[in-house]
Chains A and B, each alone.
Chain A
Amino acid sequence: MVSPMYIIAAGLGGAFLLGLLPNKWRTIPYAITLAILGIMAWIAGSWLYAFAVQGAASVEIFTAGTQPPFAINFRVGLAEASLALLTTLVGLHSALYMKDTLFKQGRQAMAVLLIFIMALCGVIFTRDVFNLFVFMELVVIATAGLVLLSADRRALGAGIKYLIVSQLVSILLLVGIIFLYHATGTLNIDDMAAAQVNLLQGGAMAFFLLFVAVLAELKPFPANGWGLDIYESAHPAFSAIFSTATGGATIYAADKMLQIGGAEWLPAATAIGIVTFVAANIFALVQNNDRRLLGYSSVAQIGLLLTVAGQRDILGDAYYYVAGGILLAHAVSKAGLFWLSGLVAQRELTDWAALRSQPVLVFAFATFLALLVGLPPFPGFYAKWDLAHHLAAEGRLWLLGLILFGALVEAAYLFRWFGYVIKREARENGLAWQSVKADVAFSAVIVAWLLAYLWGHLSGHGNLLHAVPLLFALLFLPLDWLPAKLKNVLAISGLLYWFYLNYPSYDPLQLIFAAVMLPGGALILLASFQTQKRRVGFYPAAMLMFAGLAMLIVAKSSFDFFAAWELLTVGSYFLILRGKHSEPHALSYLVFSLGGAFLILAGFAIAAQGAPDFKLAALAQVAQPYAPWVFAMLAIGFMTKTAAVGVHIWLPGAHAEAETDVSPMVSGILLKAGLFGLFMLLITMGKQQLYGVELTYVMLWIGAISALIGNLMAIFQEDAKRLLAYSSIGQMGYAVFGLALMNHLGWLMALMFVINHYIYKSMLFLSVGGIAKRTGTRLMYRMGGLITLMPLSFIAVMIGIIAMSGVPPLSGFGGRWIFYNAIMTAEYRLPMVIVFLAGPIAFLYLFRLIHTIFLGQLKDEMRKIKEAPFWIVLPQMIFVVALMVFALVPGLALRKVDLYMTQFFAGNGHLNWEGLTISSDFGYWNPVAIMVIIGVIFMTLFLWLLFVNRKAQPVKQFNIVFSGERPFRPETTHFAWNFFAPYRKALGFLTQPLVTIFWETVSELLHSAADILRRFYTGNGQTYAIHLLGFVIIVYMLWMGGKP
């Protein structure tokens, strides 16, 4: 094996060799550069292999043949070899990427590149502080040189600012080094660490100077204006190295410094890191320039790494796994994104829409974002999970909260950007396509997935990339070129087969959810046969969501549960984003969902208290005082998904703007994931009290208010799909209410809602979707009289609203019946009254739905429309049959569950199932008899009505006048416009969008704060130098104040 020393030697030698070549040569110097970088990478790779696979011990290299402190020594172990491989590979790829530029600039530029990469490796390897200084200065000089490779003229200014700041840094470094040498008598890092500098005369001060100088190179907030300018103006391939390799090497240098400083300095690193992470992410919110945004994100990630370095004392063995996961995720994604940015011709974020012309680039972009945000199955996800658990176990909850907050802000701006890519208008020639550049960027995608596999392999929780549902979903990526119909068949068979395969292992509760999610999903997918062509991107997203759902219901441990939760969140986000106008709504969905997911993560982390593998069942044993907090966090997380009032504002837009077959999926199926979580939570944790308040009682109120507000909002909607969406908020409110009753019947009713809501909401969304497809509008006052033209849709809506309103004879009544029984046994009266009130309100919006769409006058332009397409009608008809069957024999689904639930409430209040009659303590319910009686009454009245109305004359369409005036807005005179105006007068005050205003204000505050505070980066290099001095002084005051 070649000594790692040759990595340095090769770089230096190569650079000298290039200096000897004639100035005009281009190809040969370029070939030499690539070869040298390749050799360096190969040496680093072979050592990495030796350490990681063969288990070799780390090697020490003594220059000049003597031991330290008389000579400089290098150390190469697993961490060093990985970082060196990362550095050299990024260097090699960037050299490939910059071919044109390097050819233009000639051998000098190539030599500088080699020196740059060599010096970074030196920073990583060296164990001598002065040698570290030398390599860091080499990095500075090489950086200043390479910044000028950019075609952007402004890079010159960025370079000057950088040089000014780095001069300050080098003064601090040198003074620190010499005094540290004076105090310890050595320059060797390990000897210094052994000497305990903090105890020596002047040692702490000397160390402070050295440490703060190294930190300054990490671009900590606020002393980082110069770094951002470089990111914005440098060549993207250079920025890729600057962000990943420089960042990685410098953070490693900071880690070495912390070894000298000892545990005393860890809090300083933590504080500086977390402030940088949060501040940089908030500032990034208002960036429009892609590279500057990536710069802010790089600064933030390095801040996060510094925070992790500050947790060294508690991470123990997991330190390198966590730090490595975050570092590599940052490095690969950032390099990839900078390389992608070279393919985009213009610099606004919205210009990235040009990527759409090459779907593979969109895939690459999505991979990088997921990697950066730390979504499963990527390394950052595992790392964040472990980090959160360690922090929670040690009680560092503030830190955990800040990290999750920063990560949420980061996810928000990154996925907003993704929304631009998918939805914004792409300019012509927006893509500066060069296949070499695309290949380089795509190599990062491959590395990303390899790392995902590796981190899964190393994690103690099992590899997510071994999960069959996830693999099945990912399979649709390479198959995306197939026609949509074929993929649909594959998707449906996959869902059904997975259900069939697991059917025996589900318990009754899981079975209900699984039946709704898997065969239920397959049923809705029938509607997808309607689409033509390839429908690129739909199936990977949809199947990702279904994979998450399938994994969620069988999850045993908190890790599996959370991973599945994030998968279904991401999948559904991609799915919702497909709607024509859904860009802002998909984003709001994602931000709320991730916020909820982070709460769940924090809840699990606190519950586990450091246990490596936490079973969900163990939630029952969480000790006081954590238990109520864990309960609250998990419950809020789950209720974000069920869109409980307060965190519901994402739902209407997301569900209404989604595609025709997506709306039923995200409404009928996805909402149930939240209910499943709540079931799991209540089964394990039961009732919890926080400061004497019964938390389930709070949930009861939330459920009741959600039911009321959801229904109330629904009756005032003009848009049919929005009406249905708001109605989901109300329906989920009922279900949450039922669960929070904490009695047998309440839970049974919630389950009834799981089934019912799936059936009728999916059916109604499909009918309304089909109608909207034919009429070209979703506004109800633009429709009318469609009963004769779309009779099947009418039947579906009719049956749907009967079922949903809870009037006999359909299954909605069964739900109500169980519900009324349930509240008879509960002692809470006021929320009960609210829920009662919500019932008739639901009837109002349902009535509006059927009246304004199907009855009344037919519009002129709609005289020739046809029934909705076959594939959209077919599942509706199946749903009609299912509703009928479920109404007649609810025992089919509920009986087993009823029995299963007796174990939680000692059999109290469970139902008696005798034949077709179901009886409770308060009465009985015979579905068949009810059906017959209602049928007879209905037919009698119907026939009588026909008889009485036999002479009625239909009013002609234009048989009205407006006092001889032409109305200013004709649609406002339509009876369906503002249908419930009187109610609005009476109850409208309840529908003030207070919650929306609240969340908009939060977002607005963050944005304007960022916009004001970023003006702090004036663009003046000397101001930046003053920032740096200010930073030094602040750190000094906070950590050195009072010490010698």
Chain B
Amino acid sequence: MDWIAMATGFILILMGLYGALTERNILRIIVSFTVANTGVNLVLVAVGYMHGRTAPILDKTVPVAEAVARIIDPVPQALVLTAIVIGLGVTAMMLTYAYKLYEEKGTLDVSKCRDLKW
């Protein structure tokens, strides 16, 4: 199972990158990056997954004493949560830029922003 998640994750990353590098429309670029970020999150989770273990929640079914042997590593999951939040922040920032770009130039084409160069 975990290799499917891992492979899907990397495929999503590559798809996202391809989109981000080839699309001209900033909204499509943002979507591409979101796809890539989802891929990254999948990879993170897949790396943390361990066969035959349960969710890292300590309750009646998983007593504290057995926790080390029975739950998966909670750290990658915590990381994914944080990464999602940060991804949201960056995406919001990029959307703001998209809005500003449209306001300023009347277009969503990023290749129009070329007045700074060399």
Contacts and interface: CB of A to CB of B under 8 A. Distances in A.
Contacts of A178: 43-44, 47-48, 76, 79
Interface stretch (B55-63, B64-72, B92-100): B92-100
Contact of B20 (A140, A167, A1020): A167
A1026 B17 CA distance: 10
Contacts of B90: 137, 140-141, 163, 166-167, 170
Contact of A134 (B43, B86, B115): B86
Nearest to A130: B79
B21 A1025 contact: yes
B97 A144 contact: yes
Contacts, number: 116
A776 B111 CA distance: 58
Contacts of B101: 156, 160
A177 interface: yes
A686 interface: no
Q: Chain B, interface size: which category? A: 35 or more
Given A130-B82, A134-B82, A144-B97, A1019 B21 contact: no
Interface in B1-60: 13, 17, 20-22, 26, 29, 33, 36-37, 40, 43-44, 47-48
A163 B110 contact: no
Contacts of B97: 144, 156, 159-160, 163
A754 to B, nearest CB: 50
Nearest to A1014: B118
B26 A160 contact: yes
Interface string A139-167: 01100110010000110111111011011
A141 B89 contact: yes
A156 B103 CA distance: 11
B79 A179 contact: no
Contacts of A1019: 113-118
A175 B75 contact: no
Query: Which of B17, B104, B110, B117 gathers the greatest number of chain A CB atoms within 10 Å?
Result: B117
A957 interface: no
A187 interface: yes
A1022 B17 CA distance: 11
Nearest to B34: A167
B1 to A, nearest CB: 17
Contacts of A133: 86
Query: Which of A161, A178, A182, A1019 gathers the greatest number of chain B CB atoms within 10 Å?
Result: A178
A1022 B24 CA distance: 9
B116 A145 contact: no
Interface in A664-722: none
B115 A154 contact: yes
A170 B84 CA distance: 12
A232 interface: yes
A871 interface: no
B118 A174 contact: no
A725 B74 CA distance: 79
Query: Which of B33, B40, B83, B116 gathers the greatest number of chain A CB atoms within 10 Å?
Result: B116
Q: Which 3 A-B pairs have the closest CB atoms?
A: A1019-B117, A157-B113, A1019-B114
Interface of B: 13, 17, 20-22, 26, 29, 33, 36-37, 40, 43-44, 47-48, 75-76, 79, 82-83, 86, 89-90, 93-94, 97, 100-101, 104, 110-111, 113-118
Interface of A: 130, 133-134, 137, 140-141, 144-145, 148, 153-154, 156-161, 163-164, 166-168, 170-171, 174-175, 177-179, 181-182, 187, 225, 228-229, 232-233, 1014-1015, 1017-1022, 1025-1026, 1029
16 contacts: A133-B86, A134-B82, A137-B89, A144-B93, A148-B100, A160-B110, A163-B93, A174-B44, A177-B79, A178-B43, A181-B76, A228-B116, A229-B117, A1018-B114, A1019-B113, A1025-B21
